[in-house]
Amino acid sequence: DQQVKQNSPSLSVQEGRISILNCDYTNSMFDYFLWYKKYPAEGPTFLISISSIKDKNEDGRFTVFLNKSAKHLSLHIVPSQPGDSAVYFCAASTGTGTASKLTFGTGTRLQVTL
Amino acid sequence: DTAVSQTPKYLVTQMGNDKSIKCEQNLGHDTMYWYKQDSKKFLKIMFSYNNKELIINETVPNRFSPKSPDKAHLNLHINSLELGDSAVYFCASSQEGTGDSPLHFGNGTRLTVT
């Protein structure tokens, strides 16, 4: 019962180009969506989030788009840099306050080439 | 001055043994978590604690017992280890829930049961 899906296990993009990472979800009760970035042998680090009442959130080179009717979100990185090479996890949250919990996708490995 | 630190980083042990993983956060957060990343790369919540009180217990076998001596520490004790317990275990903390309060993860403990 995988409620958050990242169907592309890997993505390769040239430096300077746009990286687009996709995520689909099935649970309409999710009210917050987050992207985490993970380097090898480290824990995931928070990147950007979006509330279900919005359709776009931007932070520097990173923009997250949410399409609630399609139950789809995407992370755009532009321009892509070699340091962006990592595994990106999409996550979705239900519940409020201390009872809320995150459901993660299985990640997409982004490789930014020179 | 690592924000969320967990020890040990690697743990190799035999079936049937009992082991503990320790976690400490210096962020002043009220909520701490244990997540498990299995061989298929799913990151799944196991437990959450808020101010030393158990909030979430995600149908984890009772061989797993979390203990929170204070709100800055959340340890995980595992009894009678099984082969299927092999995974990477991540500790995390957040100020309040996970909706709009991102998780801060430790670097993980890779547990190998032989």
pLDDT for residue B17: 97
Listed in sequence order, the residues at least 6 apart from A1 whose beta carbon sits closer than 8 Å to its beta carbon are none
In the beta sheet, which residues pair with residue A36?
A46, A89
Calculate mean pLDDT across residues B25-46: 91
Going by DSSP bridges, is the β-strand pair B10-13/B19-25 parallel, antiparallel, or unpaired? unpaired
For B111, phi and psi rounded to 5 degrees?
-100, 125
B97 interaction partners in chain A (CB closer than 8 Å): 93, 95-100
pLDDT at B29 exceeding the cut of 80: yes
- B5 near A CB under 8 A: no
pLDDT for residue B40: 80
Q: pLDDT band for position B9 (50/70/90)?
A: very high
pLDDT for residue B52: 84
Distance between CA atoms of residues A112 and A19, nearest Å: 9
Between B113 and B51, name the one with better pLDDT. Answer: B113
pLDDT for residue B99: 63
Interface test with B, best of A29, A102, A109 (most B CBs within 10 A): A102
> Which of A19, A22, A26 is CA-nearest to residue A68?
A26
Q: pLDDT band for position B60 (50/70/90)?
A: confident
Task: With CB atoms and an 8 Å threshold, state whether A49 touches B100.
Answer: yes
- B103 near A CB under 8 A: yes
By C-alpha distance, the chain A residue nearest B92 is A43
Task: With CB atoms and an 8 Å threshold, state whether B56 touches A101.
Answer: yes
- B30 near A CB under 8 A: yes
Q: pLDDT band for position B106 (50/70/90)?
A: very high
How close A49 gets to chain B, by Cα (Å)?
8
pLDDT at B2 exceeding the cut of 90: no
Between B54 and B114, name the one with better pLDDT. Answer: B114
The string of pLDDT tens digits covering residues A27-68 is 999 989 999 999 999 999 999 999 999 999 999 999 999 999
How close B84 gets to chain A, by Cα (Å)?
19
The string of pLDDT tens digits covering residues A77-104 is 999 999 999 999 999 988 766 667 889 9
Task: With CB atoms and an 8 Å threshold, state whether A44 touches B43.
Answer: yes
Instruction: Find which of A9-18, B49-58, B99-108 is predicted with most confidence, using mean pLDDT.
Output: A9-18
Residue type, A97: G
Task: With CB atoms and an 8 Å threshold, state whether A100 touches B97.
Answer: yes
By C-alpha distance, the chain B residue nearest A98 is B97
Q: pLDDT band for position B78 (50/70/90)?
A: very high
